[in-house]
Amino acid sequence: MIDIETAARLVDDAAMSSTAINQLTAVDAFSVQDAYRIQRASIMRRVRRGERRIGIKLGFTSRAKMVQMGVDSLIWGWLTNAMLEDDGGLVDVSQYIHPRVEPEVCFLTRRAIDRPLTALEAKDFLEAVAPAMEIIDSRYRDFRFTLEDVVADNCSSAGLVVGSWAKDFDGLRNAGVILRMDGKDVQIGSTGAILGHPLRAVVEASRLASSSETALPAGSLIMAGAATAAHALMPGKHVQAVVNGIGEVEFSTR
Ligand code: OOG
Ligand code: MG
């Protein structure tokens, strides 16, 4: 039987020391439910160090991501203030193990979400939407994992960059998404790839959070999940994501 606290310490130490570890499931199989217990225990370690939870992220909401990683279940993890990087800022990639970047959209909630929402209600609970990028960094060797491993590892969450907020959710249905590296398009997709419509990510986030008795306060971020596959992130790059009609967001690496 896996020990929740021991496993949480393993993924947390790996993140803090930028050192890859073996998959937890290689030693002992465990349930998805236990994986979420490990995730929560690892986040509590961050909270005890002074980090603040600022929202949640969904993973594997697009087929491109499921195919790239070989996992086909919707997952969710926590975002903290320590993960937030500035739009237009400089990100030091030496804090990561083998980082990747992916284009996303990020929602800001206007009301507390403490129950599963319907698709019709979702917009009423939102303040704004922004183009965003997520930096993911699996703590597992070779960026390979099972569903249970990636959930235990807080869904590879490592960093996020959020662009300017917009109030218009109508343009989100099928907006073109481009990830650019040094001016070259490296991933192209559509927001329609995110569960058919990114607002469905809010519905799923409300369902997943409620099923684990977690309420999201007003002012929380919800990252909807990448519209395209993720791209390897190296030092000395300029990275930009464009979501047509919504805006763009960028950062550089060192
Ligand atoms: C897991 C995280 C998936 C997304 O946007 O689909 C994710 C991973 O790919 O390592 O963040
Ligand atoms: Mg993501």
**2-47 pLDDT, tens digit each:** 899 999 999 999 999 999 999 999 999 999 999 999 999 999 999 9
Predicted pLDDT at 1: 84
Residue 182, burial from CB neighbour count under 10 angstroms (0-12, 13-18, 19+): exposed
Ligand 1 nearest-atom number relative to CA 224:
5
Predicted confidence (pLDDT) at residue 234 exceeds the cutoff of 90: yes
Q: Read off the pTM.
A: 0.98
Predicted pLDDT at 49: 98
Give how many domains the chain has, as a whole number: 1
How much distance in Å is there from the Cα of 112 to the middle of ligand 2?
A: 23
Average pLDDT on 246-252 reads: 98
Backbone angles phi, psi at 20, to 5 degrees: -70, 145
222 lies in which domain range?
Answer: 4-253
216 contacts 210 by C-beta, under 8 angstroms: no
Q: What is the mean pLDDT of the chain?
A: 97
Average pLDDT on 116-144 reads: 97
Predicted confidence (pLDDT) at residue 95 exceeds the cutoff of 90: yes
Q: Which ligand is nearest to the CA of 194?
A: 1
Ligand 1 proximity of 180 Cβ (cutoff 6 Å): no
CATH label of the domain that carries residue 54: 3.90.850.10
Ligand 1 nearest-atom number relative to CA 138:
10
Predicted pLDDT at 37: 97
Q: Which ligand is nearest to the CA of 63?
A: 1
Residue bearing the CA closest to ligand 1, atom 3: 59
Predicted confidence (pLDDT) at residue 60 exceeds the cutoff of 90: yes
Predicted pLDDT at 122: 96
2 contacts 122 by C-beta, under 8 angstroms: no
Residue 205 token pair: 């986030």
Ligand 1 proximity of 195 Cβ (cutoff 6 Å): no
Predicted pLDDT at 50: 98
How much distance in Å is there from the Cα of 194 to the middle of ligand 1?
A: 12
Ligand 1 proximity of 69 Cβ (cutoff 6 Å): yes
Predicted pLDDT at 6: 98
How much distance in Å is there from the Cα of 122 to the middle of ligand 1?
A: 22
Q: How far apart are CA 228 and CA 231, in angstroms?
A: 9
Predicted pLDDT at 13: 98
Ligand 1 proximity of 134 Cβ (cutoff 6 Å): yes
Ligand 1 proximity of 79 Cβ (cutoff 6 Å): no
Tokens 């390897």 sit at which residue? 232
Residue bearing the CA closest to ligand 1, atom 8: 156
User: DSSP secondary structure string, 123-164?
Assistant: GGGEEEEEEEEEEE--SBGGG---HHHHHHTGGGEEEEEE--
Average pLDDT on 212-241 reads: 97
Predicted pLDDT at 131: 98
Residue bearing the CA closest to ligand 1, atom 9: 69
Predicted pLDDT at 184: 98
